[in-house]
Chains A and B, each alone.
Chain A
Amino acid sequence: MPHWLQLMLESLGPLLWAAFAFTAPLTLLSFAFGLAVGLVVALIRLFGPAPLVAVVRFYVWIIRGTPLLVQLFLIFYGLPAAGIVLDAFPAALIGFTLNIGAYSSEIIRAVIGSVPKGQWEAAYSIGMTWSQAMRRTILPQAGRVAVPPLSNTFISLVKDTSLAAAITVPELFQAAQRVVAVTYEPLILYIEAALIYLVMSSVLSALQTRLEKRLGRYGGFLEAQS
């Protein structure tokens, strides 16, 4: 067995464990919470009172305008100076959630706005309230349009979680770094880590395709492309 393959196989266990125990939960939880934040922010931007709109615009401005790595450092290393001490994983979770919340809010705002006004009127005309129209008519149609751009965000997130290594979260990339520290084989180990990220994002791409097919079954633009 060639040396590089043996090294990869030996380190596969700790790397996969790190991916399973830290990268995956960090990705899934921060995406789920981030989407919830994004939906609330988008609804405020579209329908909220002016002062709240100003608040959420400020939030999006800050998050989009500063590096994610700096945000993570501020939360994990900076906040203790203000008396707020967080463990590494929760600090990363908060950082990524805020990040996803800001970016996804723009996507959600756009797709809600993309549903024709006539659909609101049709929903109102059969007696629906605003929230019924939103839940039953607007969001399902907006959700379908949101799948491609939100998948982008999701796939970026999987890879961005490697930044959590810098604030001591023992996720996949940090696990690779640790093996490198003992073996002095950066080329092989970082290729291995890259391949695992590639597999994870490929799985997500495949899920995206399936989801688009399912949501596209009623016809329309997604079907027209396939």
Chain B
Amino acid sequence: MIELRNIEKRFGDNLVLKDVSVVIEEGSVTALVGPSGGGKSTLLRCINLLEIPTSGTVRIGEEALTFRPGERVATRDIQRLRRQTGMVFQNFQLFPHRTAIENVMEGLVTVLKWPAARARERALALLQKVGMAAKADAWPATLSGGQQQRVAIARALAPSPKVLLCDEPTSALDPELAQEVVDVLGQLASEGTTMVMATHDLRLASKIAREVVFLDAGVIVEKGPSAEVFGNPVHQRTKRFIATLRQEQGAAAKGEA
């Protein structure tokens, strides 16, 4: 279980997250949706502490860490919590100087000190899972965006994290390549991988996510099962946002056909 309690995040005077509390069940998929600047990426990055909350508590499984304003947290504690997570980025961020399989092996070899042969075996199995085993020895620069993102998913999963965090995993991809990534994430979801994703992609949010958290201006406007939030939103703000998304993505889909 992942718990974020009373999370507050300030950048200078700018309050980006205001007293946000969310509980994420093991094996569930949660989509963080909302307008740009609403705080969804920041909230996601507070889970693996790429952003350090100004105050609040982050708990992942047995590990928990409480933050208070002006108090530094030990790097070792941050690492302990972060190692419970894996992350997929909007721009993939594969290591360009390592091949696909080396990217997946990196965390196992460097961080977990696995012997290379064992790491290679696991990396290959993961590449197989995301349909990239044939490209194991390819350089990232030679792969399409969708392929890079699938390798990035394998890399994030390699150390067996308790949760997979996805920051706009399909936003840099055209719809066809995005579909590859949606398919892979959907498969992971059906296998019970705990996932939290910040996304604009309705396909991703409505088809894969079981829970939806709608964030605007740093507060949770609405949360609940995705069928309810998407099908029958309670708040005006949510209704308007979802209507806009539908319109945009409907238009985009027509434009392609």
Given contacts A127-B83, A128-B111, A219-B139, A119 and B89 within 8 Å (CB-CB): no
Q: In the complex, how many residue pairs between chain A and chain B have their CB atoms under 8 Å apart?
A: 70
Counting contact residues on chain B (CB < 8 A from A), the size range is 20 to 34
Indicate with 1 or 0, residue by residue over B87-115, a CB within 8 angstroms of chain A CB atoms: 10101011111100000001100111000
Asked if A220 lies at the interface with its beta carbon under 8 angstroms from chain B, I say yes
B18 contact set on A, CB distance < 8 A: none
- Find out whether the CB atom of A126 lies under 8 angstroms from the CB atom of B97: no
Interface residues of A in 136-174 (CB under 8 A from B): 136-137, 140-141, 144
Check A140/B97 contact, CB under 8 A, given A126-B107, A126-B111, A129-B79.
yes
Contact A220–B159 (Cβ < 8 Å): no
Say yes or no: is A122 at the interface (Cβ < 8 Å to chain B). Answer: yes
Contact B159 A127 (CB under 8 A): yes
CB pair A126 B141 closer than 8 Å:
no
User: Does residue A125 face the partner (Cβ distance < 8 Å to B)?
Assistant: yes
Q: Which of B82, B93, B155 has the largest number of chain A CB atoms within 10 A?
A: B93
CA distance A127 to B50 in the complex (A): 11
| Residues A122 and B95 in contact, CB atoms below 8 Å apart | yes
B139 and A126 form a contact (CB under 8 A): no
What's the interface size class on A, roughly?
A: 20 to 34
Q: Given the complex, which residues of B lie within 8 Å of A10, measured CB to CB?
A: none
Chain A residue contacts of B95, Cβ below 8 A: 119, 122-123, 137
Q: Are B93's CB and A126's CB within 8 A? A: no
Please, which residue of chain B has its CB at the minimum distance from the CB of A217? Answer: B139
- Residue of B96, B142, B155, B158 most packed against chain A (CB within 10 A): B96
Give the chain B neighbours of A127 by CB distance below 8 A.
Answer: 79, 82-83, 107, 111-112, 159
B96, A125: Cβ atoms closer than 8 Å:
no
Question: In the bound complex, how far is the Cα of B34 from the Cα of A106, in angstroms?
Answer: 43
Given contacts A121-B50, A137-B95, A144-B97, contact A126 B158 (CB under 8 A): yes
Contacts of B106 in A (CB 8 A): 126, 136
Looking at the assembled complex, report how far the CB atom of A129 sits from the nearest CB atom of chain B, in whole angstroms: 7
In the bound assembly, the distance between CA atoms of A209 and B194 in angstroms comes to: 48
Contact A220/B93 with A125-B48, A125-B50, A129-B79 known, Cβ cut-off 8 Å = no
Q: Are A218 and B97 in contact (CB under 8 A)?
A: yes
A219 contacts B141, C-beta separation under 8 Å = yes
Q: In the complex, what's the smallest C-beta–C-beta distance from B167 to chain A, in angstroms?
A: 10
Residues in A whose Cβ lies below 8 Å from that of B98: 218
CB nearest neighbor in A for B155: A126
B39 adjacent to chain A (CB < 8 Å): no
Q: At the interface, yes or no: A202 with Cβ under 8 Å from chain B?
A: no
Scoring B48, B85, B95, B141 by chain A CB atoms within 10 A of each residue's CB, the highest score goes to B95
| Chain A residues with a Cβ under 8 A of chain B | 116, 118-119, 121-130, 132, 136-137, 140-141, 144, 217-220
List residues of chain B with CB under 8 Å of any chain A CB.
Answer: 48, 50, 75, 79, 82-83, 85-87, 89, 91, 93-98, 106-107, 110-112, 139-142, 155-156, 158-159
Task: Enumerate the 4 nearest inter-chain pairs by beta-carbon distance, A residue then B residue, closest first.
Answer: A219-B141, A126-B107, A122-B93, A125-B87
